[in-house]
Each structure stands twice: as C-alpha cells, then as structure tokens.
Amino acid sequence: MVNLANLTERQRELVEASIGIIADNGIQNLTIKNLSKKMGFSEPAIYRHFKSKTDILLAILSLFEVYIRDNNTRGTSNSASSLNNLNEIFKQHFDTFSKNRALASVVFAEEIFQNDKRLAEKIFSIMEANFKIIQTIIEKGQKSNEIRTDIEAEQLTLIIMGSLRLIIKKWTLSNYHFEIKDLGKELWQSVKKILSIREGEK
C-alpha cells in the first residue's frame, strides 16, 4: 500500500509528472518510457523509485483518496443540516475533479482496474469509504425527518454515487467539453428534490 507521507521528493516529482502526462495525453499514454522522456532520465532510474507503473497509479489513487477524505471532512465537520452537508460534499467533489482532470481519468479507468488486483482493491476501498460517509449523512437526515424514509438510505446513496459517477465519466469521455461544476450544481438540485420530504408528508 502506498503511503504518500513516505514518498521521497523524487517519487513525488514522478507522480506529478505522471499526472501531467495523463492530463495532457490520456492515461493510455502513461508509460515508463514516456515518463522517462518527460523527466529527462533513463527508465532504469525510474524503476529505482517505483517498481512498476502500477505503483505509480497506486500513488495517484492515494492522492485522490486524501482529496476525497478532506472533502468529506469539510462536508461533515459542521452542525449544518444533512442536505447542506451533502451539498457541500457535491461541490467539493466536482471542484476537485475540475482542478485535477487527470484524477478523473485515473479513477474512472475501469479497463485498468479490471486487470490489476491491487488497483481494483484500492479504488474499491475508496468507493466503500465514500459510500459509508454519504449513507451515514442520509441516515442522520432520515432520523431528523429531513430526508425521505420511504427509500432506504443505502438505495439513496447508490442513486447519488451513480449519478456522480455517470456525469464525471461523461465529462472525461467528452474530453472535458463542458464545465463539470455547472452540471454538478444542476445535478444537486435534482438530487435534493429526490431526497427531500415533500410538503404534507412530514
């Protein structure tokens, strides 16, 4: 497991360069050969810092994991309502991807994860942690009579995460052709209507 705190300065430089390659040319162009050209030193020199491209991708996913954890912390660190907390998490997530396009390309590259157990386990762990945070917020909102209770919290969480994933995947496949944060705001308004208790049902 990659620990960002334990990365050397050179490893961090390699991770940043890898993110740059992905952002400019797509994840399929992240190869040790291309990375060595970008960094200006030999491929064996890179292997002294990372054993494989998979280890570099794991480091990038660990960086994403930190972003997500920080986003969720900001979204749940106050006494705001559950809907406001979820709205904050929405904004933070879309802001993170908007500023770090390469992360979206890595996180939603299913074809890579399917062929590598370590990458699959890492992204699954991130997804599960995020799922639990959102489900907990929804359950809190249901108990406070703020969020509808006729649909289970787990199913509402699936609706939210599925919607987020679909929009971000569409964004990456369109080569970032639209402003993701604007569509994120529109999505939140629809999700809010789905979650909220209608007048007369309270």
In tens, the pLDDT along 134-166 reads 999 999 999 999 999 999 999 999 999 999 989
Q: What are phi and psi of 147, to 5 degrees?
A: -120, 140
> How many residues can be counted in the chain?
202
Are the CB atoms for 187 and 90 separated by under 8 Å? Answer: yes
Mean confidence (pLDDT) of the chain: 87
In a domain, 73, yes or no: yes
pLDDT score, position 152: 97
Distance CA 31, CA 130 (A): 29
Look up the domain containing 140 and give its range: 60-195
Is there a domain that residue 115 lies in? yes
What is the number of domains present in the chain? 1
Lowest mean pLDDT among 14-23, 52-61, 76-85, 96-105: 76-85
| Listed residue (15, 5, 168, 192) closest to 88, CA to CA | 192
Say if residue 4's pLDDT is above 60. no
Helix axes 82-99, 180-195, angle to 10 degrees: 160
Q: Is 9 within the bounds of a domain? A: no
Rounded Cα distance between 121 and 160, Å, is: 22
Residue 1 has pLDDT above 50, yes or no: no
Give the amino acid at 16.
E
Amino acid at 103: L
Q: Is residue 70 part of a domain?
A: yes
* Percent of the chain surpassing pLDDT 90: 48
SS3 track for 1-49:
CCCHHHCCHHHHHHHHHHHHHHHHHCHHHCCHHHHHHHHCCCHHHHHCC
Residue that has been written with the tokens 């639990």 in this structure = 132
- Closest C-alpha to 53, from 32, 71, 39, 36: 32
Q: Which residue stretches of 77-116 are H helix? A: 82-99, 101-107, 110-113
167 falls within a domain = yes
Does residue 15 form part of some domain?
A: no
Give 51's DSSP letter: S
| pLDDT tens column, 116-129 | 889 889 888 988 99
Confirm whether 47 is domain-assigned. no
Q: For residue 49, is it within any domain?
A: no
Q: Name the residue among 48, 49, 19 with its Cα closest to residue 34.
A: 19
The domain that holds 67 is classified in CATH as 1.10.357.10
Closest C-alpha among 36, 1, 176 to residue 100: 176
